[in-house]
Amino acid sequence: MPMKLVTEEDNDKLTISRVLYAKRFDLIVDKKICKGCVLCQLVCPRKAITLKSVLENPDGKAKASIIKVDVEKCDYHGECAIICPFGAIKIMVDGEEKFPVVEKEAFPLLIRDIKIDEERCEPECIICEEKCPLDAITVRFQDLTAKEMEERKKKKLPETAQRTIVDIKKNLCAACRICEAECPAGVIQVTKFFEGSLEIDQKLCPEGCQNCYDVCPVDALSLDKDGKVDVKDKFCIYCGACANVCPNLEALELNRTSIRHTPIQSGAWNKALEELTSTVGLKKELRNKRTLKARNAIKNLKLTKGE
C-alpha cells in the first residue's frame, strides 16, 4: 500500500509518522519528559526503540540516555506508550491519541492508584506540588461558603476559609511516593505499579562515578558522606535510567518482580513480562493467572449447579 514514512526531531520532540492514503499514524516522544529509562525498549516487539547513552556532558554530570525510534520498524501498536511511567510517549491515529494494542486486548494498562483526602489537607499547603520531581501535581484553592466552613468545623477538620484541590496528572505520575512521604498531614496514599529491588555495590563503583545519581528522575538515590551512591528503595520506580548510564553494570543490580496492571490474558503481554521482570516475577504472575482461572471455573460451576 502506498505510504510515506517521516521522521522529525528537534530539541523538544521526536515524531515518526506513517502516512497512508486513508490513515495517518504518529508516534510522538516528548523529550522534555522522557527520562531515558529502558522500559519502552524492553517491551517493543519490533525492536524499533534504542537508547543512546550520552558520553560527554559539558557540566561534568551524566545525562539521561536519548531515545531513538526506527520509523521503518515501528508498528504504532503502543506498547511503549502504555509502559512509559512518565507519559512521554503518545500514539496518534488520525490526530487522536490511541492505544491500539489495548483495543485489541493484547496488552494491559498500568494501574496508577493515587488517593488524596483533600478535606484533611493542611490549609494553604502546597508541599506535594513543590516536592513532586515530575511536576505531576498542581494545588489550587477555592473559597468556601459559610455553610461549608461550618460543616468542616462539625467534622473537626482544620479551620480554613479555602478548599484545597489537588490536581494530579496521572499519566505523568510514576508512583515514586515522594508526595506521600513529604505530606505533613499524611493524607496522600500512592501505590507503586512497579515493584522490585535495586542494589548498588559501592566497592565496584568506578572512583568518583555518580552517573546513576545524576540521572535518577525521582530522587531515589542519595550520596553518602564519601560521595558514594545509596538507594532510597521506598522511592525507586525501577525504571532503569540508572542502569543505562552505569559504566560497570556489575556494580548495579536491578530487578522488577511485579507490575500492577489491568486484567489481561495475552501471549504478547507474557513476552513483555519476560523482558520486564525477573523469572521469579514472571512465574508469579502466571501462577496468579492460573489460580484466578481455577477460581472462576469453580465459581461458574457452582452457579450452574445452583440453577
> What tens digit of pLDDT does each residue of 195-206 get?
999 999 999 999
Q: How far apart are CA 93 and CA 29, in angstroms?
A: 15
Same fold for the pair 3-103 and 194-293: yes
Grade residue 301 by pLDDT with cuts at 50, 70 and 90: very low
Residue 58 pLDDT exceeds 90 = no
CATH architecture of 194-293: 2-Layer Sandwich (3.30)
Q: What is the structure's pLDDT at 283? A: 54
Its CATH architecture, for the domain 3-103, is: 2-Layer Sandwich (3.30)
| Res 20 pLDDT > 60 | yes
In the chain, where the domains are located: 3-103, 113-190, 194-293
CATH, domain range 113-190 = 3.30.70.3270
Distances (CA, A) of 245 to 61, 123, 232, 241, 279: 11, 42, 18, 7, 24
